[in-house]
Amino acid sequence: MMMRSMVLAVFVMTGCFVMPEAKAPRSGAVATGEPLNVVDDVKVWTTTSKEKVGETVYKDSSGSTIATADNYEERTQVHSMKVWYPVQGAQQIADEDFFRIAGDQQALAETGQMRANAKAWNRRGKLTMLGGAIGFVAGIFIKQPVARTVLMSGGGLAVSGGWAMAYWGAKQMEPENHAVDRSIAERAARQYNQALGTIGVSVNKAF
């Protein structure tokens, strides 16, 4: 019965988090004879958070303060950041395909290493979350106060830390994150296009 309770609690606790998945960009593009280019773009996203905007004071009939309560409102912030991504013709392609087509083996190897590291961190993060959740739940059944506190607080920290690790690994898979600098991609495109007899240019695009 205790084991069932632990398994259920672990499932519920870890299920409260949206598990970050380290999914590599779709690859498999082949050389079409079209020029390679680097496109500049602007990524825009919003975040919502609760901010304290005031405090409510509760008093009794004699005017003495008996309680206070913080008041919060949701605030939405708009963020933007400059990004770049590689294209073949008018088609966006993964960094792996871009450098493979361009023949830049060094950049290709660094991209592959970044993807491998991202998967490893994502996996480590998930395992850390699981271990932390198990420790947290185990602490519930420990009667000794100090041991219970250590297990539950340590388990909680491990869950949040593991989620951060898994999230970081997942973010490294996103198309706007690259293993090499933009200038290296531009150079690879320029050399490839010269071999094709075309002139490589950077494209600026903003939404």
Phi, psi (5° rounding) for residue 180? -125, 165
* pLDDT, tens digit (0-9, with 9 covering 90-100), for 69-105: 888 888 888 888 899 999 999 999 999 999 999 999 9
Q: Do residues 27 and 96 lie in contact, with contact meaning Cβ atoms separated by under 8 Å?
A: yes
- pTM to 2 decimals? 0.70
| The Cα angle at residue 62 between residues 59 and 66, in degrees rounded to 5 | 30
Please name the residues in contact with 108: beta carbons below 8 A apart, sequence gap of 6 or more.
Answer: 96, 99, 100
66: which DSSP letter?
A: E
User: Residue 41 and residue 202: Cα distance in Å, rounded?
Assistant: 11
* pLDDT, tens digit (0-9, with 9 covering 90-100), for 145-200: 888 888 888 888 988 899 899 999 998 998 889 999 999 999 999 999 999 886 54
Which strand (E) or helix (H) includes residue 72?
Answer: strand 65-88
User: Residue 27 and residue 173: Cα distance in Å, rounded?
Assistant: 12
Q: Are strands 91-92 and 202-204 parallel, antiparallel or unpaired?
A: unpaired
- How many CB atoms are located within 10 Å of the residue 188 CB? 24
User: Residue 202 and residue 182: Cα distance in Å, rounded?
Assistant: 10
